[in-house]
Amino acid sequence: MRGPHNIVRLIRTGATLVRTGAMNVVLDAFDAPRPLRAVAWVLGWPFQWLGYRGDPSMPPATRALTALGPAYIKFGQVLSTRPDVVGAELAQQLRVLQDKLPPFSIGEAKKAIARELEVDADTVFSELSEPVAAASIAQVHKARLRDTGETVAVKVLRPGIERAFRKDVDAFYLAARIIEIAAPQARRLRPMDVIEHFDGVVQGELDLRLESSAASEFAANTANDKGFQLPKIIWPYSGRRVMTLGWAEGVPMGDNDAIDAAGHDRRDLAARVLQLFLNHALRDGYFHADMHQGNLKVAPNGDIIAYDFGIMGHIDEYTRRVYAEILFGFIRKDYKRVAEVHFEAGYVPADKDVDEFARALRAVGEPIFGMDATKISMGRLLSYLFEVTERFGMETRTELILLQRTMVVVEGVARSLDPHMNIWQVAQPIVETYIRRSIGPAALVRDLAKTALVLSRFGPRLPELMQDVLVRQANPQPEAPSRMRLRVGLLWALGGIALGVCLSFLILLGAG
């Protein structure tokens, strides 16, 4: 579907941005280069009459994205959490997109429930309210189960959302390609990879079975986290387009007056929400990646309740260690180590100078750490860090997009609860604990145990592989030399790993 026909969609997009007055707002927010501005105006200005008018009562950017459809709205939601990228003014305009969109009728919701669950909605639910929240992909109803009387939340996808989303994302791919051609300096941001990542994330939101599974896994990981709870999934009444889960009773995280009236300690909540996120990201490698105030409540007992699991982040163990070492290095002001970690992970090209990079990082960190505690910002640090890494040739790491974005969102939530919070003091014990557990003798033993397990799987095949290699060397065949090199390489790798395991155990025994 990705092809020239999407030019019509992009022309309508540009026309809508011009007609709603959002074109300059968006281009300025992204600090778009001149060639890209020219392309945008060529696709928009002559065709203004094709653009959607939108709601004149909305700010320009919100008005344009709402008129353009669900994928644009979802993009706006993502951008609303990144004031470090688009600026505070545009981020504020886009914030309304989080959960205040026009709902579809309760009649359509009941039809969707009946089709998905293959039973009449009134048979399952004794009560089903009008929508209590409506977003770009789905809306939520408060309901009561007829068989148990339990109060639940029922999430229902918007009618026709899958087709509408595919159409919009196809145009996004073409736009990303045009950006790469018209603005070569933007290739560092890897716009095609970013769109592919965005596409994959939202495809997960379009199948509520995946969201239910994500919620279940997240609940298992966090079962022992004090002061944190999740609504349980009601599996018999959940499917691809409908999800039923326990009702989250509590005070909205964004309502400070209600939190105060309920007697909750906002300073404690601020510290806890940040530490919970860091624990989930570093300890588990699996975290809620949409932790804005609209997806958080405070239970009557003071627990933080998270819901809406459409966007979850996953990072592998190696990346977690890299990320923790970078944060830890900044906390300790060890800029040389932060620089070395970037080089070791391959984030910065090896031909760059590590000492020069360390000096550039010091120029990022020192002004921030010299600020009053209330002004120290992870978002500002990330923004400055991106500027430095761009100068040193670092490409956008798509696997870290959600992690970086969520860090900024969670910081904003914490700041809204406690404006005087020292982000780094709160983060330090979590990061230090993770460093101690993941880098050191205990971590080495765990890594060696995993390596030994891998070797044990290949062990029965090692004699066969060795014999195969020796036979092929004695009777060389012209066939597939690359496969031969692969086998030899595998044997060398396994032998090297085995030797490394033995030497490491000897070192540990000697140290003991």
The backbone region for 226, taken as left when phi is positive above 0, alpha when psi lies in -120 to 50, beta otherwise, is beta
Sheet holding 228-229, edge to edge: 228-229, 304-306, 296-298, 251-252
In this structure, are strands 228-229 and 304-306 parallel, antiparallel, or unpaired?
parallel
Distance linking the first and last C-alpha atoms of the chain:
63
- Residue 305, sorted as left (phi over 0), alpha (psi -120 to 50) or beta, turns out to be beta
Token pair, residue 273, equals 């929400």
Cα-to-chain-centroid distance, residue 264? 29
How many CA atoms does the CB half-sphere of 382 hold within 13 Å?
19
Task: Let me know: does 84 contact 46? Beta carbons within 8 Å.
Answer: no
Q: Listing from the earlier edge strand, what are the strands of the sheet with 138-145? A: 125-134, 138-145, 151-157, 242-246
User: What values do phi and psi take at 499, rounded to 5?
Assistant: -65, -40
Q: Are 153 and 244 in contact (CB under 8 A)?
A: yes
> Which value, to the nearest 10 degrees, does the dihedral of the CA atoms of residues 226, 231, 234, 238 take?
-130
Cα–Cα dist 5/7, whole Å: 5
Burial of 399 (0-12, 13-18, 19+ CB in 10 A): middle
> Each residue of 227-242: b (16+ CB within 10 Å) or e?
bbbbbebbeebbbebb
Distance CA 191, CA 269 (A): 36
Show the beta-strand stretches assigned E in 8-112: none
Nearest 5°: phi and psi at 129? -80, 170
User: In this structure, what token pair is assigned to residue 506?
Assistant: 């000897």
**Which one-letter amino acid corresponds to residue 14?**
G
Catalytic residue among 99, 168, 225, 290: 290
φ/ψ region of 160 (left if φ > 0, alpha if ψ in -120 to 50, else beta) reads: left
Beta carbons of 258 and 252 less than 8 angstroms apart: yes
Is 290 catalytic? The answer is yes
Q: How far apart are CA 151 and CA 228, in angstroms?
A: 20
Active site residues: 290
